[in-house]
Amino acid sequence: MTSSRRSLFRVAALALCAFGAVQTSYAQQKLGSSTISVVPSTSAVVLYVARDEGFFEREGLEVKITEFASGAEAERAMVAGAVDMGGGGVGTTLLMANQGIKAKNVVLLQKKPIFTLVASNRANLKPGDLKGLKGKTVGVSSPGSLSDLFLRIALRDAGLDPDKDLTVVATGGLAAHLPALQTGRVDAQMTWEPSTVTLTRKEKAATVLLDLRGDDVPAPLQNLLGSSLQATDKWLSTPSNLAKAQAAARAITKASRAINDKPDLMVPTLQRMFPSLSPDLLTEIARVEAPAFSPLITKEAIDHMSKVYRGAGLTKSDVAYADIVDPRLAAEWK
């Protein structure tokens, strides 16, 4: 080999080393801390896994998770600036866009809704009998929450007017759902895990009328995305905040795929969230929920949701993909 060729190889090797050093420096860059508001639910598990398994840390981000009783409260905290980013329903970002609130989905948490509609056994309703809810009282976590929105879509599909044919009341977080059913305050409840298995399997106090996690759901509820991590355009307008959001998107993407591959990663977080449940029920929840974790929000899904929400009277105008998805964040869902 000639001396000139050896020199070229040395230059190339040095260039590769320099590139690697830049990449390492970028990966180890400290972006600072961020606060995230969530509802303690199975959708939020991916955030805890991202934190506890070091995915956030490896992206240079320190995350503090603040828990709220409902998705509506978590999103209000984000909109008000009380936290940096908030966990809530993708559908709620469509509502916010219609209200002139500019916010973006940072990354998807779950591609399916987590909710089940359960009825008290005293109501004598069979699975799928939504028409039987006429004249009855149904609980949701809070007005405007994802549980409220999905209930209204399902009721309208069943031919019921949620504002006239029955009474919808706010019952709060998971801890209130069992007492609300047991005391007769509500005849049915929109709930989520671990309340679903607690009410139907552990306490045997209720029957599942509608499970939005499955494929056997009314047409308007098919292909509706579940929860996402969100941030306001105002917060994202600062370059340092955008970098934090991008890091969060990368970390959650990696955590989602880790859960897909190994559902048991969910179990330690579920145990902390729901200590009264037996290990077998926690493992069952992980098995059922793990396949729904996905970071991707497609234009097709948003177009479909926009059509469904407008048809249900929840929004007055269509919402474009670009209104609620920033391509700089979407690029991190790899």
Q: pLDDT of 115-151, one tens digit each? A: 999 999 999 999 999 999 999 999 999 888 878 988 9
**Three-state DSSP state, 246:** helix
| pLDDT tens, residue by residue, 41-61 | 888 999 999 999 999 999 999
pLDDT at 214 over 90: no
Which contiguous run of DSSP H or E holds residue 86?
strand 85-89
Lowest pLDDT segment from 10-14, 106-110, 169-173, 198-202: 10-14
Burial, 28: exposed, middle or buried (Cβ in 10 Å; 0-12, 13-18, 19+)?
Answer: exposed
Instruction: Say what the pLDDT of residue 73 is.
Output: 85
More confident residue, 226 or 10: 226
What pTM did the predictor assign?
A: 0.77
pLDDT value at 78 more than 70: yes
- Flag whether pLDDT at 28 surpasses 60: no
Give the pLDDT of residue 313: 82
Nearest to 71 by CA among 146, 143, 140: 146
Rg (CA), the chain: 22
Query: How far apart are the C-alpha atoms of 328 and 66, rounded to whole Å?
Result: 26
Please name the residue that has the structure tokens 């039987």: 132
C-alpha separations of 295 from 49, 138, 225, 260 in Å: 14, 32, 11, 11
Distance between CA atoms of 116 and 130, rounded to whole angstroms? Answer: 12
* HEC string for 260-315: HHCHHHHHHHHHHHCCCCCHHHHHHHHHHHHHHECCCCCHHHHHHHHHHHHHCCCC
Give the rounded distance of the alpha carbon of 17 from its chain centre.
40
Q: Read off the tokens for 135.
A: 């004249």
Question: Does residue 307 have a pLDDT over 80?
Answer: yes
Summarize the confidence of residues 294-304 as an average pLDDT: 96
Nearest 10 degrees: Cα torsion 90, 63, 266, 104: 10
| Rounded CA separation 245/27 (Å) | 15
* Banded model confidence at residue 260, pLDDT cuts 50, 70, 90: very high
Q: What percent of the chain lies above the pLDDT cut of 90?
A: 68
Position 172 pLDDT exceeds 80: yes
Beta strands 137-140; 103-108: pairing state:
unpaired
Nearest-angstrom CA–CA distance, 147 and 32 = 33
Mean pLDDT, the chain, whole residue set:
89
If you average pLDDT over each of 67-81, 147-161, 320-334, which comes out highest?
320-334
User: Above 60 in pLDDT, residue 66?
Assistant: yes
What amino acid occupies position 175?
A
- Confidence band for 39, pLDDT divided at 50, 70 and 90: confident
Alpha-helix residue ranges (DSSP H) falling in the chain: 3-27, 45-52, 55-58, 71-80, 90-98, 146-157, 177-182, 195-197, 233-236, 239-261, 267-273, 279-289, 299-311, 321-324, 327-330
